[in-house]
Structure 1
Amino acid sequence: MKFYNDDNNEKKGDLDNEKSVKESEKNYKKVKQISKVTLNEFEPGIGNTTNYNDDGPKKCVGCGKELHMKDERLPGYVLDIVKQDYCLRCFKIKNYNRLVEQDINDKDFIEILDNINKENENIRYYYVVDIFDLPGSRLEWLEKIISKKEVVILANKVDLLPKSVKSKKVLEYLTEYFRDSSLKNSEIILTSSIKEEYVYNLILKLRSVKYDQYIIGISNAGKSSLINACLRLNQQIPSIVTSKYVNTTLDKIKINFTKDNYIYDTPGLIKHNHIAIATAPSYWDFFFFQKEIKQVTYQLFKGQTIFYGGLAWFSFVDNQLLNDKNKELRVGFHFYINKRLPLHRTKTLNSLNYFKKHRHSLSPRLKDTNFEFITHEFEFDKEENVDIHISGLGWINFNSHNGMKISITVPKTEYGVTVKKLKPLI
């Protein structure tokens, strides 16, 4: 694997792409490019082998789309098909972190899976779920489709959990979590593209079979980042384009770890039920991040509300605990969030006015000032330790008691933001 910082060694195709970026964006601000990589492995037939056999149209090694010179607005566009390996879209994402949206809908993905299942008898699927957003990253209809084949569940981004949380406990939790799923008998592996010990375990798994393997899941679950981490640890070139934006990968990309062991990266499905849908992409760093999550604890009386920036809010609605002297006791609520996400406390009666007054100054905030809201109410009839998950924002852990009422208010979107009660993870 060779790294170049010398401009004389950069591929001319990359320079042509850069020229196109500059011409198409007049307000372009130059970004320094560090450690450009060639796509020439030491040994032919390993690494990103998208175009290795040269038996069809050339494809982008970053997103998998067929390269063309017809329309700059479409994914797969290049100035020179022979000289360039990345399409202009991937070049923008990879080098300038530019957002170029392209949807992969559920229907198209189902068609891809149907073709895969029909063409191949032996298949292993790696089903990636986000440990920070378990309810939001699960797709039960997808689980039913792939359950007829061999499936390994990859619980990704375990590096986000506090270091005090034991892996054994997380695996036990996930086994229980998938008990009612069609994948209940599947092997579960903890993964992270950041920590080498998790990457190494995944590489061993990937190299254990010589038949087709596919990595699947929703956008931003970390599929492509995992493959790049495996390539890097396997002394190969991490060539797949990754970003905080959805749908970076648009078609199948074949990756060979040896000549006999390979995996296909697949397009990520849209996060229909994620709160990021209600915000501008400029705020997505609050939802897709790489730092360990933070625990923030509030001792609340009934009638108090906690705001997540300008996006959503949690309210302790009713039924305060009393001590022996009939004095009200505070209840502890533990918020597990991105460290950068600001929380604000106010009175529940004032919550809507608070939002209307500060919605333009709060960050992150909704992309539309006219958003309607929907409130999810939870009432408890016993003492138990529970988590309330909000897709994209993390979860709230607390001990409930008989008659306790809490609510979560989120923006109303086309498919709804997932808000779900689960057993405690931590």
Structure 2
Amino acid sequence: MSKQGKPLGKEKDKPSCAGCGAELQTLSKDRPGYVPATALGAEGAICQRCFRIRNYNDAAQVSMDHDEFLRLLGGIASTDSLVVHIVDLFDFEGSLISGLQRFVGANPVLLVVNKIDLLPKGTNYNRIRNWVQRQAKAQGLRTVDVVLCSAKKGMGFERVVESVEQLRGRRDVYVVGATNVGKSTLINRLISDYSDLDRELTVSRFPGTTLDEIRIPLDDGKAIVDTPGIVYPSRLTELVPRGVLGALLPDKPIKPLVYQLDAGQTLFFGSLVRFDYTRGANLSFTLYTANGLKVHRTKLERADDLYAQHKGELLAPPTAEELEQMPAWTRHSLRIPRGSESDVFISGLGWIRVNGTSGAQVEVYVSKGVKVLVREALI
């Protein structure tokens, strides 16, 4: 990979932000790439949005033209490239790109599963990798390799680099994924370990940080290309106000919570999700969610009144004001098959492991559009 210290950014005449890839402009603060006129010609310039993310952990709401977004993704199929698809293990089904082959054509796909550092200590990674392979195959994703890693902690990073080097040949490498799966963090690791580039992509908890294609030159004339994150409104993390993201996105290994429930009991995850155990024998349920997220147990018969009286207060986050910004709840009725080892997966929240094989009936209430499903148990 390049040691030449070439500038980080798109290979085009117009200047682009070294942090998110957006074309720099001085006309509108509400559009991607805004910079004051005095900063426009500066070397390694970053847009005002990236500046605020890096220095104040704040990001202005900006939008990317949808047609341009599809053009960037759809253009991969016409290239001869290695495609690195990064997914978030904590939100696997929510971050896996459905219909990926439609975007990448015949190009090989390396599946990089990020954020394994969030799994509880003592997790068997071989079993996790086997689980990922089964799930990817069931989703119709054809992969040439699967690598588990933590870009943040550096776990498994050498294996990622080895796979990229072995598989790419003399081709470009396109890095694709949903928002907030760690694409920019992983690429920054590549930059710091394998090139002399002194710029970094902007990294934050905010979805959609990368706004345009960013090319990182390699020594053979090819490049690693960071693409914008695909926004899936089926993830709870895309629907909550920004102030709630910190409660949903874990930054330390998960400490599972175990609840022993009888049919007719309810768990509230703040005011974000309601989980009713409606039918079945006494069972234990293991919760794999962010450690700081408050869980409240009550009887099913009291659940409606409790929510009506205490949403946004005892049941928080979000606050009552933040809750008004979110879509209303919809109900998902789920059957846990007898004899199965299953998770109830809620995209953006985590998952609930059903301990036991006697079967059960549960209902999940969450913002309309959020992906909820029963899957083979991850752990």
TM-score normalized by the length of structure 1: 0.80
CA distance in 2, matches of 1:262, 1:247: 22
CA distance in 1, matches of 2:327, 2:95: 24
Q: Is the 8 A contact 2:269 2:296 kept in 1?
A: yes
State how 1:26-425 maps to structure 2 within 5 Å: 43-45=4-6, 49-50=8-9, 56-79=13-36, 80-83=39-42, 85-104=45-64, 107-118=67-78, 120=79, 122-208=80-166, 209-234=169-194, 236=196, 237=198, 239-256=200-217, 258=219, 260=221, 262-320=223-281, 330-361=282-313, 362-365=315-318, 367-369=322-324, 371-402=327-358, 404-412=360-368, 416-425=369-378
SS of the counterpart of 1:124? strand
CA distance in 1, matches of 2:246, 2:199: 22
In the TM superposition, what is the alpha-carbon distance from 1:385 to its structure 2 partner?
A: 1.3
In the TM superposition, what is the alpha-carbon distance from 1:371 to its structure 2 partner?
A: 4.9
- Identity of paired residues, percent? 28
CA distance in 1, matches of 2:154, 2:186: 11
In the TM superposition, what is the alpha-carbon distance from 1:274 to its structure 2 partner?
A: 1.1
In the TM superposition, what is the alpha-carbon distance from 1:192 to its structure 2 partner?
A: 1.3
CA distance in 2, matches of 1:318, 1:181: 30
In the TM superposition, what is the alpha-carbon distance from 1:296 to its structure 2 partner?
A: 0.1
CA distance in 2, matches of 1:105, 1:382: 47
Which has the higher mean CA deviation after the structures are superposed, 208-217 or 250-259? 250-259
SS of the counterpart of 1:71? coil
Aligned length: 368
Q: 1:278 to 1:58 in 2, by over 3 A?
A: closer
In the TM superposition, what is the alpha-carbon distance from 1:348 to its structure 2 partner?
A: 0.9
What letter corresponds to residue 387 of structure 1 in structure 2?
D
SS of the counterpart of 2:323? coil
CA distance in 1, matches of 2:306, 2:194: 52
Q: 1:393 to 1:197 in 2, by over 3 A?
A: closer
CA distance in 2, matches of 1:342, 1:300: 17
Q: 1:70 to 1:423 in 2, by over 3 A?
A: same
CA distance in 1, matches of 2:127, 2:147: 13
Q: Is the 8 A contact 2:336 2:342 kept in 1?
A: no
Q: Is the 8 A contact 2:312 2:323 kept in 1?
A: no
In the TM superposition, what is the alpha-carbon distance from 1:152 to its structure 2 partner?
A: 0.6
Q: 1:104 to 1:163 in 2, by over 3 A?
A: farther
CA distance in 1, matches of 2:164, 2:199: 16
- Unmatched segments (≥5 aa) in structure 2: none
The Cα offsets for residues 58-110 of structure 1, whole Å up to 9 and x where unpaired, read as 11111111222222332212223212511112111111111212234665432
Q: 1:141 to 1:180 in 2, by over 3 A?
A: same
Q: 1:254 to 1:404 in 2, by over 3 A?
A: same
Tell which structure's C-alpha radius of gyration is larger: 1
CA distance in 2, matches of 1:400, 1:285: 32
Q: Is the 8 A contact 1:380 1:400 kept in 2?
A: no
In the TM superposition, what is the alpha-carbon distance from 1:374 to its structure 2 partner?
A: 1.3
In the TM superposition, what is the alpha-carbon distance from 1:238 to its structure 2 partner?
A: 5.2
Q: Is the 8 A contact 2:170 2:220 kept in 1?
A: no
SS of the counterpart of 2:234? coil
Which has the higher mean CA deviation after the structures are superposed, 226-235 or 171-180? 226-235
What letter corresponds to residue 424 of structure 1 in structure 2?
A
Q: Is the 8 A contact 1:76 1:88 kept in 2?
A: yes
Which has the higher mean CA deviation after the structures are superposed, 104-113 or 60-69? 104-113
SS of the counterpart of 1:179? helix
The Cα offsets for residues 241-290 of structure 1, whole Å up to 9 and x where unpaired, read as 01111111111111235455631111011131111344210110122332
CA distance in 2, matches of 1:335, 1:183: 28
Q: Is the 8 A contact 1:206 1:262 kept in 2?
A: no
SS of the counterpart of 2:309? helix
Q: 1:381 to 1:66 in 2, by over 3 A?
A: closer
SS of the counterpart of 1:115? helix
CA distance in 1, matches of 2:178, 2:65: 11
TM-score normalized by the length of structure 2: 0.90
CA distance in 2, matches of 1:158, 1:238: 26
What letter corresponds to residue 373 of structure 2 in structure 1?
K
Equivalent residue number for residue 33 of structure 1:
none
Q: 1:288 to 1:210 in 2, by over 3 A?
A: farther
CA distance in 2, matches of 1:185, 1:249: 25
CA distance in 2, matches of 1:224, 1:358: 39
What letter corresponds to residue 408 of structure 1 in structure 2?
V
In the TM superposition, what is the alpha-carbon distance from 1:411 to its structure 2 partner?
A: 2.0
Q: Is the 8 A contact 2:347 2:372 kept in 1?
A: yes
In the TM superposition, what is the alpha-carbon distance from 1:156 to its structure 2 partner?
A: 1.0
CA distance in 2, matches of 1:275, 1:352: 22
CA distance in 2, matches of 1:251, 1:281: 22
CA distance in 2, matches of 1:142, 1:110: 12
Q: 1:105 to 1:423 in 2, by over 3 A?
A: farther
